[in-house]
Structure 1
Amino acid sequence: MKKYIALFCLGIFAFGCSDLEEHPVGVISPDNFFNNTDDLQAAVNGSFANIAHNNYWGREFTIALMLRDDMADIGDRTTQAARIDVNDMNMNDTNALVANFWPQSYIIITAANQAIEGAKKTPGDPAKINAIVAQAYFARAFTYYHLVRIFGDIPYVDFVVNDVSQVNSLSRMKEAEVYPKIIADLEFAKQWLEDKPKVKAVPGKGTAAGYLASVYLTLGNYQKAYDEAKYVITNEAKFGLGLDADFQDLFNATKTATLKEPLFTIDFNNLVSGNYGQDYTAFFTGSLKDDSYSYGQGFSVAVPSLKVFNDWDQRDYRRAVSFDTIIRKKTGPGGALQVFPSSDNEKAPRPHIAKYFRFPGKAGANGRTSQHNYITMRYAEVLLTAAEALNEITPGTLEADGYVNRVRARARNKAGKQVSFPANVTPGLSQADFRKMVINERRLELAFEYIRWYDIKRLKNGPEVFGPNGFEPHAFNPNKDYLFPLPGTELAINPNLKPNNPGY
């Protein structure tokens, strides 16, 4: 942990969240900073700014999540070896992606901890202070929730670090002990956050409850998962949530800021300073050899297997939104665009992910530095969580059917034209059949949104989905591959973090 201790001690409040009213500031002295609630908000915003970073949501963390599941394979296999190793279940403790997103996770947590501590020193109305610092509690819970699912047992830091000696000998907290701390942070956030924040880059009560539902679903506590999801659904209007009419709009950077479906977004604004604001998702998922867009070609890093595309019913509008099946090349006199099948991409001759490359708003070279407000959780996921949890509690209810039917009804709106597919859920499914159906509905509805790997892990179905009949066969070892390795350099510096996860 020593290599990022310096960042702990500096009290980083980095800059650059596009939709936040009070902008984060640079390196500060916490003792002299928290003079009013505006200062506190600026400190809180630092945690969110550090999420919108190359080493986290901009590239390293999200590409690892996307490649790890069975929906996105490696396209161009001349890409960085660390990406291939994550995808192929062939990681070791020197993996470059982990080496970047592990310390960045603790930088986010550091900023949240600074704000939480600073709130104790901030003068003003206690209710207003709690409403602001609740955002920091959410940011800390959000980051630890990712860490614990990726690594299992982890170092847990919930205090401001003033000296390296406070953390250079930390041991790992058991996974079962981390989850109650995440839940406590989310409960505080749910209590104090606003009902309906002005922008989706700020979490609200519905955000905290939605994540509580997800946490409880992960833990297999279906009653509490249902209760939290139901709380969001019951207060849909109060929280300004709902399903947006056109599925495509969710992935159009020029529209997402005005949508009601997101519970929380990570905002990029086409502005970059160092690694802040760097956004490679469109670039990594777009197609090489495609001259369709003014910002240039993609890089064909994360590309679904052909089986993923062929298995998806072509009548489903969500497939058309999720995939690009053609590329356009400038050929002939004047460099006119001509249409070619996606198979003409010799590095990855198959349909590519379109959710991020098609409409990135104002974007830099090859779709980098986009204007995407990346949705980390949306209302459709809450509905599917409620349906899955209720089926485990009381199978065969019309209520659970109804939650899935709402998601499918939106999918039948094909850019304003009503179609008949997908049909409503067949009433009276057995518990097992409903379970299979709703998990598959999550796979389609939330495809390429960094959720599928976590579903595979919590369901422990890795040997099945990566088996010979899966979309992306790999030699999957259930005793090793559900967890990533901690960085070997961290274990070398702090032996108390040993042993590494099994198999590494």
Structure 2
Amino acid sequence: MKINLYKILAVWLLLSISGCADLNEKPIGVFAPETFFKSPKDVETAVLGAYGVIASENLFGRQFICALQFRGDMVDIGNRATSAERIQVNDFNMDSNNGMVGRFWPQWFQAINAANSAEAGGISLGLPDEEINHLIAEAKFVRAFAYYHLVRMFGDLPYINFAVTDPSSLKTVSKTPEAEIYAGIIADLEFAKQWLPNTQKNNIRTRPTAGTAAAYLASVHLTLGQYQEAYTEAKFVIDNKALFGYELETDYEDNFKASIANSLKETIFAFDFLGQQAVGGNNDDSLVPMIEVLNLTGGYGVSVPNMNVYDDWDSRDYRKKVSFIDTLVVDGVKRPYSEFSTPRPHIGKWARDFGNGNAIGRYSDHNFSDFRYAEVLLIAAEALGEINGPTAEAAGYLNQVRARARNWAGTQTNFPEDVNPTMSKAEFIDLVLEDRRLELAFEWKRWYDIKRRDLGVKVFTGPNSLEPHPNFDPSRDYLMPLPASELRINPNLAPNNPGY
């Protein structure tokens, strides 16, 4: 079920009145939550507005998720005539003036501001917990979601968990240590897990539930190396999957079809786009044209896997077939990838079925999933493997994901085989990480795995690099720079991250 576009428009107006273009400059106006919010409906409207900010070209429509794709070792730049800022992100030679960062940094803080305002507004109503806490919990979830992405990308950064009614107060804001930000994220998610419903109306997956909060808690704890907590939260989701309505889709490819996005049970949390209804930068999905073939479809041909990624992937794995387009039929003629503008297989996910988009897939109907149930199973496998080694239970979670990969659109195959838990702990963890790489290919998760597991030197400079970058520097490149414009406005944010 799509979020009503008119609600997004209404809240976009609210944000233009109440928000700031960035942390410190150009405040258009302010409002006091205790005077603006008159009912729970007003709080809900502000929360929906935060989703509208995130479902934008600057975040989940292109800039942010493409930056994450470029940073990993699964996606390279195809069309090198694209903007220099994208090449810099991909090639690990960006600086603090990078335009991609300059666009998605303030957009995240707009979403945070909307969530903070919704939370403060909900509290100001003075209603019983049972009447208002589910909306306060949703606002807290959105804030946690935004900061979880930001802290992994930037490390220490301003942590603002209050409604801004006086923009001048932000002129002296300073960076918050990463550990404190994670503590805030966990606290928000725990509140959300307690107060969010088990399912949303019409079972939509574009608003969070208690299961959504638990899944993100599992991910946060995994990122922090808190494996017992990660396992506990993942196991909670798995044990209650019927309550939350989660299960693996029978056909892996269904997860990437816009035409059935609203009925997917594997989706835990997604951002939806309404076909050809972009408004002022919101609802503008430009990811699909970024991955489309330049000369044959009219796409941009920018986010294109390195040839090594394709060659290294066993062709018996159905996930490879789904994840790539290596031939296209144009005017009735089959065209191999050797005839593509960038002569490499392109990303197939999202490109085959984008719903009511334009000819190259812009302004699509996609619900871009940030979390799928498959990832919960992989978190449980990895966390339990770290705790007890490759037990039958840990292997069982991984094998559920592998069993689905053996289903070629209804035809059962025997690859990949089930894992027998007789290997060493290190071998099992490596296998889980490899399955994450394949299962979540091109879904902007790989960079986070590289960072949390300190794999950068291995995957970018090692002899088996899929996307070699000999200049990768772990002392610099695990973080992106804070925008130079922010440091010029507010020197309290200095120094920038190391190397920038």
Q: TM-score, normalised by structure 1?
A: 0.92
2:321 maps to which residue? 320
Write the distance in 1 (CA, Å) between the matches of 2:460 and 2:364. Answer: 32
Q: Offset of 1:328 from its aligned partner? A: 3.2
Q: Offset of 1:375 from its aligned partner? A: 0.5
Q: Offset of 1:382 from its aligned partner? A: 0.4
1:407 maps to which residue? 401
Q: Offset of 1:462 from its aligned partner? A: 0.1
Write the distance in 1 (CA, Å) between the matches of 2:64 and 2:494. Answer: 23
2:361 maps to which residue? 367
1:470 maps to which residue? 465
Q: TM-score, normalised by structure 2?
A: 0.93
Name the SS of the counterpart of 1:376 in structure 2: strand
- What is the 5 A alignment of 1:102-181? 102-122=105-125, 124-181=127-184
Q: Offset of 1:345 from its aligned partner? A: 1.7
Write the distance in 2 (CA, Å) between the matches of 1:40 and 1:447. Answer: 36
Q: Percent identity?
A: 50
Tell me which moved more, 211-220 or 423-432.
Answer: 423-432
Tell whether 2:268 aligns with 1:263: yes
Give the AA of the match of 2:314: D
Tell whether 2:6 aligns with 1:18: no
1:262-314 deviation digits (Å, cap 9, x = unpaired) = 110100011111100111111001111224xxxxx321101001110011000
Tell me which moved more, 307-316 or 36-45.
Answer: 36-45
Write the distance in 2 (CA, Å) between the matches of 1:407 and 1:21. Answer: 35
1:352 maps to which residue? 346
Q: Offset of 1:418 from its aligned partner? A: 1.1
Q: Offset of 1:21 from its aligned partner? A: 10
- What is the 5 A alignment of 1:193-204? 193-197=196-200, 198-204=203-209
Q: Is the 8 A contact 1:20 1:201 kept in 2?
A: no
Q: Is the 8 A contact 2:34 2:125 kept in 1?
A: no
1:89 maps to which residue? 92
Q: Offset of 1:256 from its aligned partner? A: 1.6
1:99 maps to which residue? 102
Q: Is the 8 A contact 1:285 1:352 kept in 2?
A: yes
| Structure (1 or 2) with the greater helix fraction | 2
Write the distance in 1 (CA, Å) between the matches of 2:393 and 2:364. Answer: 39
Write the distance in 1 (CA, Å) between the matches of 2:279 and 2:304. Answer: 29
Q: Is the 8 A contact 1:168 1:494 kept in 2?
A: yes
Q: Is the 8 A contact 1:285 1:303 kept in 2?
A: yes
Q: Offset of 1:124 from its aligned partner? A: 4.5
Name the SS of the counterpart of 1:238 in structure 2: helix
Tell me which moved more, 120-129 or 231-240.
Answer: 120-129
Name the SS of the counterpart of 2:332 in structure 1: strand
1:332 maps to which residue? none
Question: Could you list the runs of 4 or more consecutive aligned residues of structure 1 that deviate by over 2 angstroms after TM superposition?
Answer: 17-26, 28-33, 121-126
2:41 maps to which residue? 38
2:25 maps to which residue? none
- Which structure 1 segments of 5+ residues have no match? 1-16, 292-296, 330-335
Q: Offset of 1:413 from its aligned partner? A: 1.2
Tell whether 2:276 aligns with 1:282: no
Tell whether 2:305 aligns with 1:299: no
* Match of residue 63, structure 2, among 44, 50, 60: 60
Name the SS of the counterpart of 1:479 in structure 2: coil
* Match of residue 234, structure 1, among 229, 234, 239: 239
Name the count of aligned residue pairs. 476
- Which structure 2 segments of 5+ residues have no match? 18-30
Give the AA of the match of 1:216: H
Give the AA of the match of 1:272: A
1:5 maps to which residue? none
- What is the 5 A alignment of 1:398-477? 398-467=392-461, 468-474=463-469, 475-477=471-473
Write the distance in 1 (CA, Å) between the matches of 2:423 and 2:140. Answer: 40
Write the distance in 1 (CA, Å) between the matches of 2:332 and 2:5. Answer: 42
Name the SS of the counterpart of 2:241 in structure 1: coil
Check 1:403–1:290 CA distance in 2 against 1; reply closer, same or farther (3 A cut): same
1:182 maps to which residue? 185
Write the distance in 2 (CA, Å) between the matches of 1:223 and 1:440. Answer: 21
Q: Offset of 1:82 from its aligned partner? A: 0.4
1:14 maps to which residue? none
Write the distance in 2 (CA, Å) between the matches of 1:423 and 1:126. Answer: 49
Write the distance in 2 (CA, Å) between the matches of 1:456 and 1:130. Answer: 36
Write the distance in 2 (CA, Å) between the matches of 1:32 and 1:479. Answer: 47
Write the distance in 2 (CA, Å) between the matches of 1:495 and 1:429. Answer: 52
Tell me which moved more, 450-459 or 162-171.
Answer: 162-171
